[in-house]
Amino acid sequence: MRPAQKIIPYINQPEEIMLGVPNYYASAAGGSQGNGVLIKTREGRPIKLEGNPQHPLSKGKLDARGQYEIFNLYDPDRLTGPLKMVGGQPSVLSWGTADTEIAEKLKAARGRIAVLTGTVHGPARNKVIADFCQSFEAFHYSYDGWTHHAARKAQEMSYGGTSLPSYHFDKAEYILCLEADPLGTGYSSLEWMAGFGQNRHVKNNKMSKLVSADCGTTVTASNADERFRMKPGMSVQFGLAIADALQGRGAPGKHFIPRVSPFESEAGLKPGSIDRIATELWAARGKSIVMGGDTLDHQLVACLLNEMLGNEGVTVDGNGAPSNQAYGSVVGMQDLMNRLNNGQIDVVITFGTNPAYSLPESAGVAAAFGKASTVIHLGDRADETGRLAMYLLPGQHWLESWGDAEPQVGLYSVIQPSVMPLWDSRAAEESLIKFAQVAGVSGLGTFVGGWHEYVMETWRTNVYKSDVFAADFTSFWNSALRDGFVDLRVAPTPRTYLSPDLANLSTLRNSGGDLQLVVVPSPHVTEDGNANNAWLLELPHPVGRVSWTNYANLAPKTASKLGLRDGDYIKVTANGATIEVPVHVQPGDVEDVVTIETGWGRKHVGRVGDNVGGNAFALCAIENGMLRTMGDPVSIEKTGRWEELPDVQGHNYTEGRPIVAEAAFEEYLKNPEAGKWHEHELVSLWPEHEYKGNKWGMVIDQTACIGCNACMAACSVENNIPVVGVGQIRLGREMHWIRIDRYYSGDEHEPEFTYQPMLCQHCDNAPCETVCPVVATVHSEEGLNMQIYNRCVGTRYCSNNCPYKVRRFNWHEYTFAAYEPHPLQLVLNPEVTVREKGIMEKCTFCQQRIREGKEKAKEMNRPITDADFKTACQQTCPTDAISFGNTNNPDSQVSQMKKDPRAYNVIAEVNTRPAVTYFTKLRNRPTRDTDPYLGGHDAGVGEMQPKEGGHH
Amino acid sequence: MSRETNMKQTASPATEPKNRHWTTLGELHGDEAALAVKNSEFYSKPEEFFNQEQATKFSVTGDPTLISEAAGFMELKVKQNGGESGGMSRRDFLKISGSGDGLCNGRLRLASGAKDYPLHQSA
């Protein structure tokens, strides 16, 4: 029996805190994307992050990484106080001592100091670094693992400035990606997902079209309406061929376009493909976007195509409010290392970046840092770069500290602390101010106050304009804190295209070898502290559906040729470095390409993330100031070791029942019910439920869903979903209440992808309810299928009888003891029960939110409406694929949506009568019948006839 | 409104003329090992988790935290005695018994129109 635990109320209750009632604070995510967030706090501690609905980038959405950021705050492996390395061993020191010692070193090293950060934006954050550098005559360098330097270089060559453009996916009816993954790993991926999602809901018989030319199945490629698979780098020629075709259609300007014909036959495309895509793009000129991959060639071609299509200044914003979201530079990093190696730098201060991990060993980061007399690390943990430091002075999580953000020029956010610092830490910017003050230098050293005052003062002088804002500064500041942002962006105008020389494009290295290497960023794991985020590591890869490791993606033919299978460990060698990773055979990848994601293979990030997967950065080379990630020759060697991949796809036994409905958009226009399975009237033995009040229901638009996993992440945080670890995943015991099922259709070499969020369907005729021997799962009067935890005895009959396989059993103890060490328990949502070992659990349709919505409606003495609450998955879904509401209200959104001809229920033939409805997946491409150029696939589902003998 | 009237109550043919949608290469190719995993409802191997000692402890102490161990042990014994591999899987058993229950229950309910209520208050 568990001992009773005491609840101790406040003696002096803070005015703004009411026990049990959450407070929300607007802020901005501290990462490079700078999305507006709402921080939900309970009794003074953050428990959930959500997108700020008013913020123009996040639009109320948040991606998986953003949702799980809360875990990083409570990560027990963060530094807990200042440390100094003495004789190779850490020793504790006070902040005062640290400040005094460091101030002396800085004074002595004036002119020989470097500040190395990741991308920093925000007027105050930028200014404090600039002021520090001015005070100490220091140099500031920015470096990120993925610098987007190629994009900036291409912008410079094409338009004369190094700003990264902002892209308006919400205005784009046609998107062409040349080896680009804007939806998975773009520098403003959340904004782009949200914008993209707006045009994926069929309105007035229109939807956007996404075309991808690529060598690997990224999030974007897997969501493409049409995909052209080609060798690494060939998409450059693909783009040039389209440019050539556009010129024939009257695209403005005369551009020299290198001849790439006969490209189609060389790339194995059907004749006429280029012409058709060019025709479609031309029809969508001014309403399209072309995105290039992470090479200069791709980026230059993308600039050319956007220019020819008139997208510049419309969907591509290079001068109105361009992006500040990626400023890192390999060139800068090389310059720093040259200075270090030449003895020109004595003191290095680092935070927000981790070059010791994200640069190949051949770059010599450790050796160069070793030349500095003092390295000061202001990051939150002793990571790979931190371990090169003499002083480890813990920085703060952005939820603990002040700060600001300016992700796009003119779009300002204040980052405000929502909790007292958990440890003896200090914001890195605060440390810079303190160092200057203790050193007594001019400039920053004379500033009176701390980082909070500095942010306010900067906003007073740099953001607040008395002629623009009617209010005084205090009112303006309070308004900025309340709203979370100030939008002073200006509209773009078309820039002058400088017609860079494209004669030498397509210079991607021809390896001459059998295999080519492609290194891509992970959509989830980055080179910072989130590699120690257990929730994030357990989240399956959006496409591969493998969790807890990265892997070498090989096409089925390549794996077969090399005698490799899923889970075989291989040594991958490129550019003189070797890493060991498992093989994952990925249908749809291009043959003879080895694709590996970065972010994994950390040596020093924490107890969870150390030595998980392999570090793909190690395989890259640096060329022309850029990380070369594509096309290098690579060799692989089988190690003989095999481990089952923790692959969550295929766990679920569905008896081969029909689950996915899909159709080509062209078919849908002719027949709105195209793609749906043949339907029969069903007879039920059960009496009907009477729903006199509310009846909750959900609609999921599979056309809008891009499989990004944000819903899974939001659900985990909201509902205290435990992490079970790699071993339990292999046993099929993941605990996610909502999962994304990824289905392939077509053949293994050129499959199409469908993502299907699957959660408890809250069936009217719920098979789980009828078999529970202790009536632990019951039907509510509002149509919810409820699990009563303290009745459940763990027979698992309900799970056995669930055709959707959405019930989760607690095989182990995942209650408070599992959230050791401190402060992990603080991540738990107090509004949701933490379940014990031996009982069943599942999606509740976020019942706690329904109740909150009801209370809100009750206070206002009116019926509950759709606007009163959102489920966690619905709230965060970047593409608005999930809708939820009262189906008994004929005016509700879900009621209207359930009348759509595309609506269908999964496994309807077992007559479970689910409350969750799906929309047929539509692909905006011609049907096989009308387009002879499409190949490799069979007819659409809607054209299928049931096999003889099929049961009904 | 009694229920969602806007949704047609439908059924679908549960067979596919081809392996149209697939989730793993093993499934696509009909690989035996992959299908064995795919078609296995119970990944768990009871012997990995449950033992007689725990089951006995439950029977002696009645510790509710051990009930799943005891249940697992019972399942293990049934399996070891050929219960699951001896002819009828648990799923098939449940299909038959469930159908029987459903028919009886449905008939009774139709006849009486009485409602079932879960236990409201325990002693």
Six-digit token string for A816: 């408070």
Quick one: average pLDDT of A374-397? 97
What does the alpha-carbon distance between residue A587 and residue A700 come to, in Å, rounded to a whole number?
26
Residue A512 CB partners (closer than 8 Å, separation 6+): A633
Residue of A217, A558, A680, A742 to mutate, testing the B interface (most B Cβ within 10 Å of its Cβ): A680
A919 DSSP β-pair partners: A701, A903
Q: Considering CB atoms only, which of B16, B21, B109 is closest to A687?
A: B109
Q: What is the pLDDT of residues A603-637, one digit of tens each?
A: 999 999 999 999 999 999 998 888 999 989 999 99
CB B67 within 8 A of CB A838: yes
Residues from chain A contacting residue B2 (CB–CB below 8 Å): 688-691
Q: How confident is the model at residue A17 (pLDDT cuts 50, 70, 90)?
A: confident
For chain A, helix (H) and strand (E) counts, in that order, are 27, 40
Residue A917 CB partners (closer than 8 Å, separation 6+): A697, A698, A699, A700, A894, A897, A898, A903, A904, A905, B7
DSSP A647: B
Within A759-822, strands assigned E span 777-779, 785-787, 808-809
Nearest-CA neighbor of A669 among A906, A883, A923, A893? A923
pLDDT, greater one: A280 or A945: A280
Query: In this model, does residue A941 exceed pLDDT 60?
Result: no
Choose the weakest-confidence range: B42-46, B54-58, B103-107: B42-46
Length of chain A counted residue by residue: 952
Quick one: average pLDDT of B45-65? 66
DSSP string, B31-76: -HHHHHHHT-S----HHHH--HHHHHHHHHH--GGGHHHHHHHHHH
Length of chain B counted residue by residue: 123
Give CB contacts under 8 A, 24+ apart, made by A863-869.
A863/A889, A864/A694, A865/A889, A865/A892, A866/A892, A866/A893, A866/A894
pLDDT at position B121:
60
CATH class of the domain defined by A662-943? alpha beta
pLDDT at position B94:
63
Query: In this model, does residue A948 exceed pLDDT 50?
Result: no
Choose the weakest-confidence range: A77-81, A561-565, A655-659, A772-776: A655-659
* Biggest distance spanned by C-alpha atoms of chain B: 57
Q: How confident is the model at residue A933 (pLDDT cuts 50, 70, 90)?
A: very low
pLDDT at position A789:
95
The whole-angstrom distance between B65's CA and the closest CA on chain A is 7
DSSP string, A306-359: HHHTT-BTTTEESSSS-B-S----HHHHHHHHHHHHTT---EEEEES--HHHHS
Q: What is the pLDDT of residues A93-121, one digit of tens each?
A: 999 999 999 999 999 999 999 999 999 99
Q: How confident is the model at residue A13 (pLDDT cuts 50, 70, 90)?
A: confident
Query: In this model, does residue A370 exceed pLDDT 50?
Result: yes
CB A716 within 8 A of CB A535: yes
pLDDT, greater one: A830 or B37: A830
pLDDT at position A931:
45
CATH 3.40.50.300 fits domain A516-642: no
Q: How confident is the model at residue A742 (pLDDT cuts 50, 70, 90)?
A: very high
Element (H, E) at A36: strand A36-42
Choose the weakest-confidence range: A493-497, A786-790, A921-925, B97-101: B97-101
Query: In this model, does residue B43 exceed pLDDT 60?
Result: no
Nearest-CA neighbor of A232 among A294, A170, A286? A294
Radius of gyration of chain B (CA): 21
Contact B118 A778 (CB under 8 A): yes
Query: In this model, does residue A940 exceed pLDDT 50?
Result: no
Contact A775 B91 (CB under 8 A): no
Query: In this model, does residue A523 exceed pLDDT 50?
Result: yes
- Percent of chain B at pLDDT > 90 equals 0
What does the alpha-carbon distance between residue A605 and residue A583 come to, in Å, rounded to a whole number?
24
Q: Could you give the dihedral angle defined by the CA atoms of residues A687, A690, A691 and A692, in that order, rounded to the nearest 10 degrees? A: 180
What does the alpha-carbon distance between residue A499 and residue A489 come to, in Å, rounded to a whole number?
28
Nearest-CA neighbor of A950 among B60, B25, B14, B90? B14
Residue A403 phi/psi, 5-degree rounding, is 175, -175
Contact B23 A660 (CB under 8 A): no
A740 DSSP β-pair partners: A757
Query: In this model, does residue B102 exceed pLDDT 50?
Result: yes
Residue ranges of alpha helices (H) inside A539-685 are 556-562, 665-670
Q: How confident is the model at residue A368 (pLDDT cuts 50, 70, 90)?
A: very high
Q: How confident is the model at residue B9 (pLDDT cuts 50, 70, 90)?
A: very low
Query: In this model, does residue B88 exceed pLDDT 70?
Result: no
pLDDT at position B46:
54
Residue A460 phi/psi, 5-degree rounding, is -65, -40
For chain B, helix (H) and strand (E) counts, in that order, are 6, 1
Query: In this model, does residue B83 exceed pLDDT 60?
Result: no
pLDDT at position A23:
94
Q: Considering CB atoms only, which of A658, A679, A899 is closest to B16?
A: A658
Contact B20 A745 (CB under 8 A): yes
Radius of gyration of chain A (CA): 28
Predicted-complex ipTM score = 0.79
* Biggest distance spanned by C-alpha atoms of chain A: 88
pLDDT at position B73:
66
Helix axes A123-136, A451-458, angle to 10 degrees: 110
Nearest-CA neighbor of A785 among A848, A845, A866? A845
Query: In this model, does residue A512 exceed pLDDT 60?
Result: no
What does the alpha-carbon distance between residue A521 and residue A595 come to, in Å, rounded to a whole number?
10
Contact B65 A677 (CB under 8 A): no
Nearest-CA neighbor of A146 among A323, A330, A19? A330
pLDDT, greater one: A2 or A469: A469
Q: Considering CB atoms only, which of B3, B23, B98 is closest to A743?
A: B23
Residue of B15, B16, B21, B54 to mutate, testing the A interface (most A Cβ within 10 Å of its Cβ): B21
pLDDT, greater one: B120 or A842: A842
Residues from chain B contacting residue A660 (CB–CB below 8 Å): 21
pLDDT at position A678:
74
Quick one: average pLDDT of A732-737? 93
Quick one: average pLDDT of A751-776? 94
pLDDT at position A267:
82
Interstrand relation of A403-408 and A411-415 (parallel, antiparallel or unpaired): antiparallel
Sheet holding A882-886, edge to edge: A882-886, A696-701, A916-919, A903-904
Pick the CATH number of A166-317 from 3.30.379.10, 2.40.10.120, 3.40.228.10, 3.40.50.720: 3.40.228.10
For residue A749, give the chain B residue with the closest CA: B25
A630 DSSP β-pair partners: A518
Interstrand relation of A174-178 and A288-292 (parallel, antiparallel or unpaired): parallel
Query: In this model, does residue A91 exceed pLDDT 50?
Result: yes
Six-digit token string for B46: 């009871």
Element (H, E) at A872: helix A872-876
Choose the weakest-confidence range: A81-85, A232-236, A755-759: A232-236
Query: In this model, does residue B7 exceed pLDDT 50?
Result: no
Q: Considering CB atoms only, which of B12, B21, B94 is closest to A679?
A: B12
pLDDT at position B105:
67
CB B49 within 8 A of CB A811: yes
pLDDT, greater one: A711 or A815: A711
- Percent of chain A at pLDDT > 90 equals 78
pLDDT at position A681:
80
Nearest-CA neighbor of A590 among A518, A510, A508? A518
Boundaries of CATH 2.40.40.20 in chain A? Answer: 516-642
**Residue A447, Cα to own-chain centre: how many angstroms?**
38
Six-digit token string for A145: 């693992």
pLDDT, greater one: A509 or A893: A893
For residue B36, give the chain A residue with the closest CA: A653
Query: In this model, does residue B118 exceed pLDDT 60?
Result: yes
Six-digit token string for A604: 């020093």
What does the alpha-carbon distance between residue A767 and residue A764 come to, in Å, rounded to a whole number?
9
Give the Cα-Cα-Cα angle A73, A79, A82 (nearest 5 degrees): 130
Query: In this model, does residue A870 exceed pLDDT 70?
Result: yes
What does the alpha-carbon distance between residue A866 and residue A873 come to, in Å, rounded to a whole number?
15
pLDDT at position A454:
98
Residue of A654, A677, A923 to mutate, testing the B interface (most B Cβ within 10 Å of its Cβ): A677
Q: Buried b vs exposed e over B85-122: b needs ≥16 C-beta within 10 Å?
A: eeeeebbeebeeebeeeeeeeeeeeeeeeeeeeeeeee
Interstrand relation of A568-574 and A635-642 (parallel, antiparallel or unpaired): antiparallel
pLDDT at position A527:
87
Sign of the torsion angle spanned by Cα atoms A477, A478, A482, A488: negative
Side chain identity at residue A60, one-letter code: G
With H, G, I as helix, E, B as strand and everything else as coil, classify residue A621. Answer: strand
Residues from chain A contacting residue B67 (CB–CB below 8 Å): 793-794, 838
Q: What is the pLDDT of residues A672-688, one digit of tens each?
A: 998 887 777 888 877 88
Contact B12 A741 (CB under 8 A): no
Tell me the pLDDT of chain A averaged across its residues: 91
pLDDT at position A942:
33
Boundaries of CATH 3.40.228.10 in chain A? Answer: 166-317
Quick one: average pLDDT of A640-656? 80
Query: In this model, does residue B70 exceed pLDDT 90?
Result: no
Choose the weakest-confidence range: A344-353, A887-896, B13-22: B13-22
Contact B2 A689 (CB under 8 A): yes
With H, G, I as helix, E, B as strand and everything else as coil, classify residue A90. Answer: strand
Q: What is the pLDDT of residues A295-326, one digit of tens each?
A: 999 999 999 999 999 999 999 999 999 999 99
Residue of B8, B12, B50, B115 to mutate, testing the A interface (most A Cβ within 10 Å of its Cβ): B12
Residues from chain B contacting residue A801 (CB–CB below 8 Å): 94, 98
What does the alpha-carbon distance between residue A658 and residue A654 come to, in Å, rounded to a whole number?
9
Q: Which residue's structure tokens are 């696939």?
A: A937
Side chain identity at residue A426, one-letter code: R
Query: In this model, does residue B116 exceed pLDDT 90?
Result: no
Query: In this model, does residue A448 exceed pLDDT 50?
Result: yes
pLDDT at position A947:
30
pLDDT, greater one: A754 or A4: A754
Contact A909 B12 (CB under 8 A): yes
Contact B2 A690 (CB under 8 A): yes
DSSP A21: B
What does the alpha-carbon distance between residue A415 and residue A162 come to, in Å, rounded to a whole number?
26
Query: In this model, does residue B16 exceed pLDDT 50?
Result: no
Quick one: average pLDDT of A3-13? 76
